[in-house]
């Protein structure tokens, strides 16, 4: 069965309407009937600003990278893109075709 995998790369402490962006994204995906979504917390990473966010003791960051992944039909995911862009702003979103086994 062909589906798509949506990935959204975020910073842990970014907010949207008084909640974390990743919470807002997960709630939208759930409320829209997307089959499943997972939040992954990174231990180190950087984005377009080039600033490294890390768990290392000397450089401990409160704004670690997180990734939201969701799998469903391309039609369902694409329909959510405008609202997702509103929530995540200029953060990176990717989509790729996957086969659900």
Spatial contact of 98 and 6, defined as CB atoms under 8 Å apart: no
Residue range 13-71, pLDDT digits in tens:
889 999 999 999 999 999 999 999 999 988 788 777 787 777 666 555 567 889 999 99
| CATH number of the structural domain 2-99 | 3.30.70.120
The whole-number pLDDT of residue 52 equals 78
Q: Give the N- to C-terminal CA distance of the chain in Å, as an integer.
A: 7
**pTM for the full model?**
0.86
70 neighbors 29 (Cβ within 8 angstroms): yes
Domain ranges of the chain: 2-99
Closest residue by Cα to residue 91 from 62, 61, 49, 63:
49
User: CA-CA distance, 44 to 77, in Å (whole number)?
Assistant: 28
Strand partners, 72: 4
């Amino acid at each position: 069965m062909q589906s798509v995998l949506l990935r959204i790369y975020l910073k842990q402490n970014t907010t949207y309407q008084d909640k974390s962006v990743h919470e807002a994204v997960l709630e939208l995906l759930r409320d829209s009937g997307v089959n499943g979504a997972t939040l992954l917390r990174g231990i180190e990473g950087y984005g377009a600003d080039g600033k490294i966010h890390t768990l290392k003791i000397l450089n401990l960051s409160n704004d670690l990278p997180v990734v939201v992944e969701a799998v469903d039909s391309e039609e369902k995911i694409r329909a959510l893109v405008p609202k997702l862009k509103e929530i995540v702003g200029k953060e990176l979103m990717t989509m790729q075709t996957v086969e659900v086994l």
